[in-house]
């Protein structure tokens, strides 16, 4: 693999991950709003729905944390390549 291909590949993977995370976030938020607005739940079922929604929010947080982590790694790679020039 050529030296120039690796940064482009890393950026492409980051862009794909970002797009998937944006889509996942939009779907999760839409689903949460629908469940909250359309449901008329009481007792244990309401508690279960609250736990499921909390799990979705945790999954979104984790996805965005991963995107930020990959972005920081990509920034470090770009800086290292610039220093080598």
| Residue 33, pLDDT score | 94
In the 8-state DSSP scheme, what is residue 2? -
Could you write out the DSSP letters of every residue in 4-72? THHHHHHHHHHHHHHHHHHHHHHHHHHHHHHHHHH----HHHHHHHHHHHHHHHHHHHHHHHHHHHHHH
pTM: 0.75
| Residue 82, pLDDT score | 63
2, pLDDT greater than 70: no
Residue closest to 35 by CA, chosen among 52, 20, 10: 52
The domain spans of the chain are 5-84
A 10 A CB-CB count for 67 gives: 16
| pLDDT band of 16, cuts 50, 70, 90 | very high
């Amino acid at each position: 693999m050529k030296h120039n291909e690796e940064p482009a590949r890393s950026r492409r993977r980051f862009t794909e991950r970002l797009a998937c995370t944006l889509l996942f976030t939009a779907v999760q938020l839409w689903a949460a709003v629908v469940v909250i607005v359309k449901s008329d739940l009481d007792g244990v079922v309401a508690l279960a729905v609250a736990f499921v929604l909390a799990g979705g929010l945790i999954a979104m947080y984790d996805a965005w944390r991963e995107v930020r982590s990959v972005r920081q790694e990509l920034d470090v790679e770009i800086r290292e390549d610039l220093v080598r020039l």
